[in-house]
Amino acid sequence: MKTKQELKQYFENGDIPKQEEFWEWQESYWHKDEKIPSDKLAYDFSQKADLVNGVVPASQLPSYVDDVLEFDSLSNLPQQGESGKIYITKDSNKIYRWTGARYIDITQGELGTLQSVTDRGNETTKSIKVQGISYGGSSSLNNIMIGQETNDMTSQANYTISIGKDTNPLGNDHVVIGHNSFVTDNGSQGNTVVGNFSMQNGLYSNENTVLGYSAFGSAKGASRNTVLGAFAGYGGGDNKYQNILIGSRAGINLGPDSSNNVIIGSNSDFGDTQLLDSLYIHNVSARGPVEFSQALISGNFVNKYINIDGKFSITPNKIPAADTSFTKNIVARPDGTFGWEDKAGSEYIPLAGTAPTKPVTGDIVIKDINNNSFTRLSKGSVFCSDNAKNGTLVGYSSVTFLEQFAGPVAEISKGGIITAEPTYVITCGGAEVRGLSGASDYTYNVKDLDYIQKKYADKQHSYTKEEVKTGGLWIDNKPIYRKTVVFTQIPDEGIIRIDKIFEDMEMIVSNLMFTEWYDMKADFSGNQLRGEAFISLQKEYVQFQLKNNPNYNYSAINSFTLTLEYTKKNDLPVV
């Protein structure tokens, strides 16, 4: 028989093969209809497994399945199994394998059951049914569905949990539990619904919480409502917003666009009336329309009022005892509206007095216990009198002293004290009587006819190193000032500059001088000493001159005291 290389030479480019060469090429291969003799195969058939009654003997099985163990029942299997072994129970004719933690059934007839799939830890991307109930969802959309047949919800309901037959929420972030509940659209979001037949028309709704049988049946366009109770919120108009409805059939037939209401109580049927910002607390035993104003408690959140249609009481021992911090009285209008007023505004006179808006319109007369004197409080005055009508009348601008037959005998007003007598005596009691005294220093304000204080009188006769006003005026009506200066160091030339000490001085009204000059054995007042020494005064300086000694050193003078009374340039005349 030709080799493969030899056969190829028959069919090189340009060759014309013969019949014998074609036959030789075909004889080199086995036809599919021919049986190949075993001696022509390069295979060791001593290594193959044999079939004995259709079964491979255990001696010819691989080592990892070399044991098939039989037991009477599942309960007879070893508590701790071994991997690589097959366990057969005779009573059920089932086959088990040890997973490392438990036995699992691998009998061929049950490979497709839910239990066997679950035991193997497998999962499916399709919905499954258990006793006719569909279980499904989408991990990519994060939703869970129980009881709903496969529909487009899986592609439109994100982050949604739906439990119940014919429950078909679309949109996002919903939780729905109940048969035939919650009809929404793809734009709805964040609703929580629990109850059969609840929120059946929830198109365009968002963030509602509904709990109860057939609750909130008309919820189209509704947002942020909280509804609790069978048939609560049933019927009515669309676009309800931020209402709280609690109770069986609470808040049914609310009108369109009703918002921000709190309704508590059963059988409150508002007959398509729109409510806004309202509080309604009432319980009705029979169904039918209700009047908002007939609720036990009603109110409005915007106007901030509350009405109680019934008796109102408080347990007495729960009310604190009133003290002075209680300053208001509760009053009411004929229509039952409560208000409060200051205690002073009541019809009686409170201890704290009356308010300006609630004055006493008549006289108030206070008598003493013996009826010997009285005090009358009248409009614009207070009259205190003895039984002879001698007394004091206090008005809005004066205090008048009255006598029975003489009439007014004295009056005190903001203008002064006027008496019918030629004198007016002021006296004080006590061990150290001082008489009239001022509350502050009036020295610089004293006029010609004023009584003066001791301090003013002392000042007129006192001297100080500080510049003070004397209280007097010069002939040009400018104030007169006084100041005293003591010099203990006299310049050698005997000239003392005073223009910086008496600044702005215009006119020297008077001067007093006193000199201690022990070298001359003298201490004297005035401006000359025995015709030997002279002191001249000008506005700018003081000059000493010793008549017979032009070269005298005047620093030998021990001290020189000068007191001047003067006027100032920049002062204006006193009018």
Task: Give pLDDT tens digits for 15-73.
Answer: 888 888 888 888 887 778 888 777 777 777 667 777 776 666 656 666 555 578 889 99
Distance of CA 379 to the CA centre of its chain: 51
Instruction: Return the bridge partners of 510, or none.
Output: 565
Q: Specify the amino acid at residue 159.
A: Y
Task: Give pLDDT tens digits for 81-98.
Answer: 988 888 899 998 888 889
Distance separating alpha carbons of residues 405 and 23, to the nearest angstrom: 178
Contact 310, 317 (CB under 8 A): no
CA torsion angle 519 524 525 530 (round to 10): -90
Distance separating alpha carbons of residues 120 and 328, to the nearest angstrom: 80
Q: What is the mean pLDDT of residues 236-262?
A: 95
Contact 228, 245 (CB under 8 A): yes
**Token pair of 502, please?**
């008496």
Residues with Cβ < 8 Å from 275, sequence gap 6 or more? Answer: 254, 255, 258, 261, 263, 292
**Token pair of 192, please?**
């929580």
Residue written as tokens 């009703």? Answer: 258
Distance of CA 212 to the CA centre of its chain: 36
Residues with Cβ < 8 Å from 277, sequence gap 6 or more? Answer: 259, 260, 261, 300, 301, 302, 303
Q: What is the pLDDT of residue 454?
A: 65
Closest CA to 217 of 167, 243, 252, 262: 252
Residues with Cβ < 8 Å from 123, sequence gap 6 or more? Answer: none
Distance separating alpha carbons of residues 492 and 497, to the nearest angstrom: 13
| pTM exceeds 0.85, yes or no | no
Residues with Cβ < 8 Å from 171, sequence gap 6 or more? Answer: 156, 157, 158, 160, 184, 185, 186, 187, 188, 189, 191
Q: What is the pLDDT of residue 67?
A: 74
Task: Give pLDDT tens digits for 409-444.
Answer: 888 888 788 887 777 777 777 777 776 777 787 766
111 has pLDDT over 60: no
Residues with Cβ < 8 Å from 212, sequence gap 6 or more? Answer: 194, 195, 198, 227, 228, 229, 230, 231, 232, 248
Lowest mean pLDDT segment, chosen from 154-158, 254-258, 338-342: 154-158
Distance separating alpha carbons of residues 496 and 486, to the nearest angstrom: 11
Which backbone phi and psi does 98 adopt, to 5 degrees?
A: -90, 125
Which backbone phi and psi does 190 adopt, to 5 degrees?
A: 70, 30
Contact 152, 138 (CB under 8 A): no
Lowest mean pLDDT segment, chosen from 218-232, 248-262, 304-318, 378-392: 378-392
Residues with Cβ < 8 Å from 500, sequence gap 6 or more? Answer: none
Q: What is the pLDDT of residue 13?
A: 86
Q: Specify the amino acid at residue 169.
A: P
Closest CA to 546 of 527, 560, 532, 531: 532
Q: What is the pLDDT of residue 63?
A: 53
- Specify the DSSP class assigned to residue 206: B
Lowest mean pLDDT segment, chosen from 205-214, 277-286, 303-312: 303-312
- 572 conformational bin, left if phi > 0, alpha if psi -120 to 50, beta if neither: beta
Residues with Cβ < 8 Å from 210, sequence gap 6 or more? Answer: 191, 192, 193, 194, 195, 198, 199, 216, 219, 225, 227, 233
